[in-house]
C-alpha cells in the first residue's frame, strides 16, 4: 500500500508537533493550552488503538461491523492531532472513511482512508483528502506506540506523526 520508509523519513524530517510557542500564536482562545491539547490527543490515540485492534479482530466475524467506530475515533483523533500539525492554518476533520486496511504484524497496521478536512476559520469549506500510513500499537494493544500518516490536503502533502 505505501512505502513505510518514505513515511518514516518524512515524519522525522518534519517534526511531530508545532512548538508550544507556535501553538500559542495560532490557537483560538477557546482551545486548551499546549499541554492540555497533547493530553487530549493521547486519550484519542488510545481510542484509535482499541478501535484498530477491534477492527482487525472482528472484521472476519459474521454480522460484525467495527468500521463505524474506527471511522469515528479516527475522525476525532485527526480533529485534534491536525491542530498541532504543520498545516498552513488550523484545520479540523469532519469525517473519515477507512478504505483499505492491512495488518502488517502483531502491532503494525497499514491504513488508507478518505477524510474531510477544512480550515477552522471557515467550517463550511471542506476538502476530501486522502490519508495513508502506518499505525503501530503498544504491546498491550491499548495505546499507539507510533504512527506515520500522510495527508494530501489541497494538493500538498502533510505528515502527522508520532515517532
Is residue 159 assigned to a domain? no
pLDDT of residue 60: 53
Q: What is the mean pLDDT of each run of 10 residues along the chain (163 residues)?
A: 56 61 74 82 92 74 63 93 84 92 90 94 93 92 90 91 85
Whether residue 153 is contained in a domain is answered as no
Looking at residue 48, its pLDDT comes to: 93
Does residue 40 belong to any structural domain of this protein?
yes
Residue 36 included in any domain: yes
Joined grid coordinates for residue 11: 515524519
Residue 119 lies in a domain: yes
Domain coverage including residue 96? 4-147
Split into its structural domains, the chain has a count of 1
Is 89 domain-assigned?
yes
The pLDDT of residue 62 is: 40
- Residue 162 in domain: no
Determine, yes or no, domain membership for 57.
Answer: yes
Amino acid at each position: 500500500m505505501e512505502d513505510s520508509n518514505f513515511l518514516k523519513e518524512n515524519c522525522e524530517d518534519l517534526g511531530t508537533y508545532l512548538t508550544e510557542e507556535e501553538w500559542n500564536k495560532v490557537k483560538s482562545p477557546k482551545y486548551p493550552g499546549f499541554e492540555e491539547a497533547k493530553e487530549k490527543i493521547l486519550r484519542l490515540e488510545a481510542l484509535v488503538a482499541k478501535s484498530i485492534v477491534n477492527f482487525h479482530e472482528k472484521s472476519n466475524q459474521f454480522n460484525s461491523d467495527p468500521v463505524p467506530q474506527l471511522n469515528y475515533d479516527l475522525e476525532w483523533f485527526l480533529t485534534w492531532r491536525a491542530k498541532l500539525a504543520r498545516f498552513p492554518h488550523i484545520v479540523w476533520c469532519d469525517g473519515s472513511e477507512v478504505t483499505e486496511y492491512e495488518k502488517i504484524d502483531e502491532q503494525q497496521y497499514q491504513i488508507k482512508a478518505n477524510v474531510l478536512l477544512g480550515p477552522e476559520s471557515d467550517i463550511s469549506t471542506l476538502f476530501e483528502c486522502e490519508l495513508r500510513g502506518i499505525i503501530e500499537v503498544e504491546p498491550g494493544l491499548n495505546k499507539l506506540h507510533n504512527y506515520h500518516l500522510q495527508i494530501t490536503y489541497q494538493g500538498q502533502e502533510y505528515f502527522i506523526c508520532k515517532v
